[in-house]
A = this chain, B = another copy of it.
Amino acid sequence: MQKKIPVGVLGATGMVGQRYIYLLADHPWFEVAYVAASPRSAGKPYCEAVQNRWLIGSDIPAGVSELIVGDANDVSAAAGKCAFVFSALEMDKESIKALEAAYAGAGIPVVSNASANRWTDDVPMLIPEINPEHLAVIAEQKKHHGWDKGFIAVKPNCSLQSYMIPLFALERAGYPVKRMIVTTLQAVSGAGYPGVPSFDMIDNIVPFISGEEEKTEKEVLKILGSVKDGRIEAARAPVVAAHCNRVPVIDGHTACVSLEFDLPDEKKPALAEIERVWTSFRALPQELSLPSAPLSPIIVRHEENRPQPRRDRDADKGMAVTVGRLRPCPVFDIRFVALSHNTKRGAALGGILNAELLKAKGFFDGLY
């Protein structure tokens, strides 16, 4: 058996950081060897730093429980302890940007869940099933900053993960989308911990999530963008209008989507063709058999009342997107409901899949 690659987790005590630690517990390639958080937690064993606030399942994975937490601001503390870091930092955007750059500058690649670098144009915002060719900009990124081995790669917001792969599958099959109106019903875990007060989530919903609609509408275009002169140029379509709601669900973001194809009527796909496109969709992570890749990225259900968060979020390790209620839209062309696990596909496990892709493509070579 080969030795696993040692990895670090920044922001290890927060909800996403905990999710990384939980999901990496039995990872075939990676092993958590370093955890870092705020100065308040630094110096304590991890189990003590999260005391009474371990949020996922009963227990902290055994291997991590006794690791001494480092100060995330102290880049040198990570040196030599890990081949790269997962960033689940919870700070203001500018501090995260500076800190992620500092890790990259110190030769430690950063696979980030944070939004700070999503719009940096030489930072790829990856969904491995969609835009692995965006990895090409990393060379330019390194050159531009004078970084040797370090670099930054990010993943997009959780709110769009449910419909982004179905959308891309249609585009790739030759059915470009002109515009779409999306209403999301998002789980509370997306807001971290303590996050949304229970006083707002009992007998209630909140029809607003700060910054979320803007992210959803904009990030779609970068993900579908193309590499030009070492940078990513955002796509121009589809135009997205999003309504983002917080609902009393632990995990699993649901999206109600109406969309219009950018095609003459006679070339628009029939529902059966769309279903065929979705169920047969496979991409690079499936070809490479990456450990966290779902066998089939899109699952189509036919029950009239599915997908539902509690029943469908864990499909294929929480990495498959489940689509249901595909039907004609009286205003646009089609409508459907899509669901993905926001803290697995939409956050930590999505980040791990990014790292698996980077590893498979040799971006960590020489670091472990």
Residues of A near any B CB (own CB < 8 A): 15, 51-52, 55, 57-58, 179-181, 183, 185, 188-189, 193-208, 210, 217, 239-241, 243, 245, 247-250, 254, 256, 258, 299, 303-312, 314-315, 322, 324-325, 329-332, 335, 337
| Least Cβ–Cβ distance between A54 and chain B, in angstroms | 8
Of B194, B203, B304, B331, which contacts A208 at CB under 8 A? B304
A197 touches B205 (CB 8 A): no
B201 touches A239 (CB 8 A): no
Compute how far the CA of A351 lies from the CA of B306 in the bound complex, rounded to whole angstroms.
30
Compute how far the CA of A311 lies from the CA of B312 in the bound complex, rounded to whole angstroms.
20
Known: A303-B51, A331-B181. A204 touches B256 (CB 8 A): no
Chain B residues near A196 (CB-CB < 8 A): 197-199
Known: A51-B303, A52-B305, A207-B305. A245 touches B202 (CB 8 A): no
A193 touches B189 (CB 8 A): no
Known: A197-B194, A243-B258. A217 touches B249 (CB 8 A): no
Chain B residues near A204 (CB-CB < 8 A): 249, 308-311
Compute how far the CA of A155 lies from the CA of B205 in the bound complex, rounded to whole angstroms.
26
Q: With A203-B203, A207-B307 given, can you name 16 additional A-B contacts, CB distance below 8 Å?
A: A52-B304, A180-B331, A181-B332, A183-B256, A188-B202, A195-B197, A203-B249, A203-B250, A204-B311, A206-B305, A207-B306, A207-B324, A207-B325, A207-B337, A239-B331, A247-B247
B243 touches A309 (CB 8 A): no
Compute how far the CA of A58 lies from the CA of B324 in the bound complex, rounded to whole angstroms.
13
9 A–B contacts from the bound complex (CB under 8 Å): A58-B299, A188-B202, A196-B198, A197-B198, A200-B308, A205-B247, A207-B254, A207-B305, A210-B304
B241 touches A335 (CB 8 A): yes
Chain B residues near A307 (CB-CB < 8 A): 207
Q: When A and B form their complex, which 10 residue pairs have the shortest distance between CB atoms, in order from nearest?
A: A183-B183, A243-B256, A194-B197, A198-B201, A241-B331, A203-B203, A208-B305, A204-B310, A198-B198, A207-B337
Compute how far the CA of A247 lies from the CA of B254 in the bound complex, rounded to whole angstroms.
12
B188 touches A193 (CB 8 A): no
A330 touches B248 (CB 8 A): no
Chain B residues near A314 (CB-CB < 8 A): 57-58
Compute how far the CA of A299 lies from the CA of B239 in the bound complex, rounded to whole angstroms.
31
Compute how far the CA of A217 lies from the CA of B258 in the bound complex, rounded to whole angstroms.
15
Compute how far the CA of A45 lies from the CA of B134 in the bound complex, rounded to whole angstroms.
48
| Least Cβ–Cβ distance between A72 and chain B, in angstroms | 23
Chain B residues near A188 (CB-CB < 8 A): 198-199, 202
Compute how far the CA of A242 lies from the CA of B240 in the bound complex, rounded to whole angstroms.
17
Chain B residues near A193 (CB-CB < 8 A): 197, 199
Compute how far the CA of A197 lies from the CA of B307 in the bound complex, rounded to whole angstroms.
17
Interface centre among A195, A258, A299 (most CB of B within 10 A): A258
Chain B residues near A256 (CB-CB < 8 A): 183, 207, 243, 245
Known: A201-B202, A208-B304, A208-B325. A57 touches B311 (CB 8 A): yes
Chain B residues near A241 (CB-CB < 8 A): 258, 329-332, 335
| Least Cβ–Cβ distance between A196 and chain B, in angstroms | 5
A310 touches B203 (CB 8 A): yes
| Least Cβ–Cβ distance between A159 and chain B, in angstroms | 14
Compute how far the CA of A206 lies from the CA of B304 in the bound complex, rounded to whole angstroms.
10
Cβ-closest chain B residue relative to A310:
B204
Chain B residues near A303 (CB-CB < 8 A): 51-52
B203 touches A202 (CB 8 A): yes
